């Protein structure tokens, strides 16, 4: 199921020019990713209960257009790559009112134990592994 996360821009997230400060987009992408996991019944808390962490290895954002206070953005997160050890999420951010593309982004992750040693999700949480495979297949269609 394709998922879209909506978010209203707060005044404090803007800079002196009245546009969203670039550093906030990383937070927005994380909010969308966490919500996507929630609605697919694999919340972060469930990973932590099983001693699985999902650290961020890298972030890439290609800014296309700005948004300002009180704009509503729509973030479409999707699985670009998943092999059970590594995960790359893609994001398309648009301005709901204008439809303009605001940002194309991606975050790279891996699955680890609490000591940050890489693990295979298929062994640790097999049902989440299957859910990620399903999300990857939906993203590739």
The residue behind tokens 């994380």 is 30
pTM: 0.93
Give the model's pLDDT for residue 66.
96
**Residue 141: band (very low, low, confident or very high) from pLDDT cuts 50, 70, 90:** low
The predicted model gives 22-40 an average pLDDT of: 97
pLDDT in tens, 85-108: 999 999 999 999 999 999 999 999
Mean pLDDT (whole number) for 13-17 = 96
Assigned fold of 5-139: Thiol Ester Dehydrase; Chain A (3.10.129)
Residue 26 CA to residue 107 CA, distance in Å, equals 9
Please say if the pLDDT value at position 12 is more than 70.
yes
Distance of alpha carbon 136 from alpha carbon 114, whole angstroms: 25
Predicted pLDDT of residue 1: 52
- Contact status, residue 112 vs residue 55, Cβ threshold 8 Å: yes
pLDDT exceeds 70 at position 111: yes
């Amino acid at each position: 199921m394709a998922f879209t996360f909506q978010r209203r821009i707060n005044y404090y997230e803007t800079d002196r020019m009245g546009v969203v400060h670039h550093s906030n987009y990383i937070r927005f992408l994380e909010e969308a990713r966490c919500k996507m996991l929630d609605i697919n019944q694999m919340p972060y808390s469930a990973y932590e209960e099983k001693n699985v962490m999902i650290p961020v290895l890298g972030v890439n954002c290609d800014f296309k257009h700005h948004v300002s206070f009180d704009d509503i953005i729509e973030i479409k997160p999707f699985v670009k790559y998943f092999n059970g050890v590594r995960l790359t999420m893609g994001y398309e951010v648009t301005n709901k009112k204008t439809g303009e593309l605001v940002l194309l982004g991606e975050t790279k992750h891996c699955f680890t134990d609490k000591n940050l040693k890489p693990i295979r999700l298929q062994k640790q949480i097999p049902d989440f592994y299957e859910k990620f495979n399903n999300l990857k297949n939906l993203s590739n269609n």
